[in-house]
Amino acid sequence: MTARVGDARPAGLARAMVAMTGLTAVWRATGFVRIVVVAAVLGTTFLGNVYQSANTIPNVVFELVVAGLVQAVLIPSLVARLDRGDQADA
C-alpha cells in the first residue's frame, strides 16, 4: 500500500504540533527553574521584588508589542487571501 500525496500534509502538521508542544514544555520548565533559583537566592526581599519587576515589565511590554504587530500584519494578509478564495494558501 502506498501513501497518497495528500497524506503528507497532515503528518507534517502533526509533527510540527508535537515539536511545538515539546518545545513549549521545555521553555516552561526552564522558566520555572529560573523562578525557583531566583527565589532561593534572593528570597522574599526588596531586592528579589525589584529583580522580578525589572524582569517582568520588559517581557510584558514585548509580548504586547509583538501581539499587536502580528495582528496588524498577519490578519489582513490572511483575510485578503481568504477573500480571493485561496483557502489552501491562507
* Residues 54, 22 share a domain: no
Give percent above pLDDT 90 in the chain: 33
Q: Determine the pLDDT at residue 81.
A: 83
Model pLDDT for residues 62-89, shown as the tens digit of each residue: 999 998 888 888 888 888 888 887 666 6
Segments forming the whole domain that contains residue 19: 1-43
For residue 42, what is its C-alpha cell? 534572593
For residue 27, the one-letter residue type is W
* Residues 50, 31 share a domain: no
Model pLDDT for residues 22-35, shown as the tens digit of each residue: 999 999 999 999 98
| Per-residue confidence band for 3, with pLDDT thresholds at 50, 70 and 90 | low
For residue 54, what is its C-alpha cell? 525589572
Give percent above pLDDT 70 in the chain: 84
pTM to 2 decimals? 0.53
Which ranges in the chain belong to alpha helices (H)?
A: 8-42, 46-84
* Residues 5, 39 share a domain: yes
* Residues 50, 29 share a domain: no
Q: What is the Cβ-side half-sphere exposure of residue 44, based on CA atoms within 13 angstroms?
A: 0
* Residues 50, 27 share a domain: no
Q: How many domains is the chain built from?
A: 2
